[in-house]
Amino acid sequence: MKHVIVGTAGHIDHGKSALVLALTGTDPDRLEEEKRRGITIDLGFAHLDLGEDLRLGFVDVPGHERFVKNMLAGASGIDLVLLVVAADESIKPQTREHFDICKLLGVERGLVAITKSDLVDRELLDLVRLEIQEFVAGSFLDGAPVVAVSSRTGEGLDTLKTELRRLSLLIAAKPTELPFRLPIDRVFMMKGFGVVVTGTLVAGRIETEAEVEIYPIARRARVRGIEVHNQAAGVAVAGQRTALNLAGVDAAALGRGMVLGPAGLFAATDRVDVVLQLVPAAKPLKHRARVHFHCGTSESVAEVALLEGKELRPGGRAYAQLRVAEKGLLLPGDRFIVRQFSPVTTIGGGLILDIQPPRHRLADPAVSAFLAALEQGGPEERLQLLVEQAGEASPAALASRTGWQPAEVERIAKVLEGRNRVMIPGPTSGVVASASYFAALAERVVTELEAFHKASPLVAGLAREDLRGRVATRDGGESRLASPTLFNAVLQRLVVENKLEVQGETVRRVGREVRLSSEEQSAKEQICQAFERAGLAVPAAREILQALPIDRARAEKILHLLLREKTLLKVSEDLIFHHSALERLRALVAQRKAASNRLDVAAFKETTGLSRKYAIPLLEYLDRERVTRREGDVRIIL
């Protein structure tokens, strides 16, 4: 069965709620106050089956100008608008405002009902019809059906239903393959059930027992039960009016504007890059103006940073960054509305392009070009742009930035890899890098190594981690360090291209191995052996060197070389050990663990036969190496 959400729109007292009641048999004004005052204050809901295969969910909105914010919460999920104009009043302020909102939200289909047809004669009805046609000219409702109805006499209701059915069948299904998202429009407690939240499922599908996250409060809950249009269901899919019974969370913690989504997949944000459109009737909007910001069912205050000039003209559009006062789950592709701070009127709206934007320089043409490319590009171009901007990112991070499933990110990344636009170091590496960043890194590795070899000819090469630090780039104020995974992939590529060699932790340019003279070679062996013989009870390095028949400058250089190679290891300022001695130490500690995993200084001295002078630095070394962990006076052998 196809589900379509129909939203009412129009001025107060034009007969929206009465029409929903006449069509569905359900009075959408459910609050006691609404019944008493005879006006709609908050959203109302009803549904109507038109044939076996089509169910319409009605969202009835308040027309009163004071409750436009409630109207906005309802309008965000609709597929089809039912614009209501009373025959005896024709077009009024909230007819215009609601219609503007529908246009700004990108509603694509709808129809107009001229209500209260029983109150006017033919002539007036024809006049109102003409006014409406002029009013919607050039908009998405241009040429849409305009049906005269009376909720009192029932006139025109059948025609209206026929048109509703015809239009509904034209509506494309909402995307069920995206991660699910349910903007909450109501929260209440139900006797015997507990917490219930309702909303229009705008994307994806959700099943009972699913674990959900409530954004932005980062709470998790379990879906105990699902109702779709008041009927129990095992699953709800995008486009359906959905009620979820949640376990594991208090009603008091929840509210309209929060969003249910997959646990851990998304990140709430308070800074978004957008394309912003002002309505022609708005005043010019200044850079850094404060506005009311409405997206999904949420509302907050936001500051508008215009990215293309100091002012946005009425009817104009520009890229902007919105800094929202409260975090919310916003995703690229979401439509939003902005209302003037005071007096509150709808002045514009737009489309969210980037939910994790970097800080921009003002009036930077590169920023506008980037946002234009994001706005116009398909999924592949968009992913490529984001990867290029980040240099590298994980599929999980890209999923949270795009709103796609991680598997979809990986699929598109593979397509881009096939076009040599991105690099994926390994199927399970969790890294996607842009091809240009990868190439730049490779180039910097070679240049840095060249410079290093030139400066230190006696050293075999650079330690991998050291080199990774040296090729970090500065991007504005931020330094960008390649992840170990990506960096190793760069090294591997350069090895394959025969540009460098990697030996253990040391990286060098091909043909740049240290060539020691025969005297240097023999000095190296003597020093090495002296340290090896000394074992753990090693004298101070300078004593060892002094005892050898090698001149001091050369000895120092070779000592340095041995440290670089990691044949010798510096444990403290005075103590240098041969690596074999430290390996023996690790073996001793491992043996000791069989008896007890606790080690104090006395036990260490006993196990190793070393004095306190060695025991303390060596224990600290073991802590650093995470062989042991200090807890007060004892060490735990890990």
Ligand X SMILES: Nc1nc2c(ncn2[C@@H]2O[C@H](COP(=O)(O)OP(=O)(O)O)[C@@H](O)[C@H]2O)c(=O)[nH]1
Binding mask 270-289 for ligand X (x = CB under 6 A): --------------------
**From the CB of 358, what's the least distance to ligand X, in Å?**
46
Are the beta carbons of 380 and 415 closer than 8 angstroms?
yes
- Which of Mg ion, ligand X, none lies near 79, with the C-beta cut-off 5 to 8 A by kind? none
Nearer to Mg ion, 59 or 148 (CB): 59
By CB atoms closer than 10 A (0-12, 13-18, 19+), residue 17 is buried
| 402 is a contact residue toward ligand X (CB under 6 A) | no
Nearer to Mg ion, 17 or 346 (CB): 17
**From the CB of 349, what's the least distance to Mg ion, in Å?**
23
* Of 90-98, 122-130, 148-156, 332-340: span binding ligand X (CB under 6 A): 148-156
* Of 9-17, 197-205, 480-488, 563-571: span binding Mg ion (CB under 5 A): 9-17
- Which of Mg ion, ligand X, none lies near 70, with the C-beta cut-off 5 to 8 A by kind? none
* Of 16-24, 105-113, 167-175, 413-421: span binding Mg ion (CB under 5 A): 16-24
Rg (Cα) of the chain, in Å, rounded? 35
Q: What is the 3-state secondary structure (H, E, C) of 533-553?
A: HHCCCCCCHHHHHHCCCCCHH
**Do you know the residue count of the chain?**
638
How far is residue 21's CA from residue 15's CA, in Å, rounded to a whole number? 10
- Beta bridge partner(s), residue 232: 227
| 115 is a contact residue toward Mg ion (CB under 5 A) | no
| 327 is a contact residue toward ligand X (CB under 6 A) | no
- Which of Mg ion, ligand X, none lies near 534, with the C-beta cut-off 5 to 8 A by kind? none
- Which of ligand X, Mg ion, none lies near 15, with the C-beta cut-off 5 to 8 A by kind? ligand X
* Of 110-118, 296-304, 455-463, 599-607: span binding ligand X (CB under 6 A): 110-118
Binding mask 31-50 for Mg ion (x = CB under 5 A): ---------x----------
Closest residue to bound ligand X by CB = 15
Q: Per CB under 6 A, which of residues 12..71 are in contact with ligand X?
A: 12-18, 39-40, 63
CA distances from 233 to 241, 420, 615 (A): 12, 46, 68
**From the CB of 16, what's the least distance to Mg ion, in Å?**
5
Binding mask 358-397 for Mg ion (x = CB under 5 A): ----------------------------------------
Nearer to Mg ion, 73 or 203 (CB): 73
Nearer to ligand X, 150 or 269 (CB): 150
Nearer to ligand X, 119 or 616 (CB): 119
Element (H, E) at 490: helix 484-496
**From the CB of 149, what's the least distance to ligand X, in Å?**
7
- Which of ligand X, Mg ion, none lies near 14, with the C-beta cut-off 5 to 8 A by kind? ligand X
Nearer to Mg ion, 59 or 413 (CB): 59
How far is residue 104's CA from residue 291's CA, in Å, rounded to a whole number? 16
- Which of Mg ion, ligand X, none lies near 241, with the C-beta cut-off 5 to 8 A by kind? none
Are the beta carbons of 504 and 543 closer than 8 angstroms?
no
- Beta bridge partner(s), residue 48: 56
- Beta bridge partner(s), residue 183: 259
Q: Which residues contact 138 (CB under 8 A, 6 or more apart)?
A: none
Q: For residue 451, how many other CB atoms are within 10 A of its CB?
A: 11
- Phi and psi for 276 in degrees, rounded to 5? -115, 135
Determine how β-strand 298-306 pairs with β-strand 432-434: unpaired
Nearer to ligand X, 34 or 408 (CB): 34
- Is the CA virtual torsion 354, 355, 358, 362 positive or negative? positive
**From the CB of 148, what's the least distance to Mg ion, in Å?**
19
Q: Report the candidate in 321, 350, 315 with the shortest Cα–Cα distance to residue 335.
A: 350
Q: Per CB under 5 A, which of residues 551..580 are in contact with Mg ion?
A: none
How far is residue 44's CA from residue 258's CA, in Å, rounded to a whole number? 19
How many Å separate Cα 93 from the centre of its chain?
A: 38
- Which of ligand X, Mg ion, none lies near 116, with the C-beta cut-off 5 to 8 A by kind? ligand X
Amino acid in position 522: S
* Of 121-129, 145-153, 191-199, 392-400: span binding ligand X (CB under 6 A): 145-153
Q: For residue 612, how many other CB atoms are within 10 A of its CB?
A: 11
**From the CB of 379, what's the least distance to Mg ion, in Å?**
40
Please tell me the count of residues contacting ligand X according to CB under 6 A.
17
| 115 is a contact residue toward ligand X (CB under 6 A) | yes
Number of helices (H), then strands (E), belonging to the chain: the values are 19, 37
| 151 is a contact residue toward ligand X (CB under 6 A) | yes
- Which of ligand X, Mg ion, none lies near 119, with the C-beta cut-off 5 to 8 A by kind? ligand X
- Is the CA virtual torsion 220, 225, 231, 233 positive or negative? positive
Amino acid in position 371: L
Q: For residue 38, how many other CB atoms are within 10 A of its CB?
A: 9
Closest residue to bound Mg ion by CB = 40
* Of 112-120, 135-143, 262-270, 525-533: span binding ligand X (CB under 6 A): 112-120
**From the CB of 152, what's the least distance to ligand X, in Å?**
4
Determine how β-strand 500-503 pairs with β-strand 335-340: unpaired
Q: For the sheet containing 506-509, what is the strand order?
A: 462-463, 506-509, 500-503
How many Å separate Cα 449 from the centre of its chain?
A: 37
Nearer to ligand X, 86 or 562 (CB): 86
Determine which residue in the list 4, 17, 268, 619 makes contact with Mg ion, applying CB under 5 A.
17
- Which of Mg ion, ligand X, none lies near 608, with the C-beta cut-off 5 to 8 A by kind? none
Q: What token pair was written down for 158? A: 């059948």
Nearer to ligand X, 41 or 472 (CB): 41
Q: What is the DSSP string of 293-318?
A: EEETTEEEEEEEEESS-SEE-TT-EE
Q: What token pair was written down for 435? A: 């091809």
* Of 11-19, 262-270, 529-537, 579-587: span binding ligand X (CB under 6 A): 11-19
Q: For the chain, what percentages of helix, strand and coil (3-state, to nearest 5) are there?
A: 35, 30, 35
Determine which residue in the list 2, 26, 96, 119 makes contact with ligand X, applying CB under 6 A.
119
**From the CB of 308, what's the least distance to ligand X, in Å?**
40
Residues near Mg ion, by CB under 5 A:
16-17, 40
Residues near ligand X, by CB under 6 A:
12-18, 39-40, 63, 115-116, 118-119, 150-152
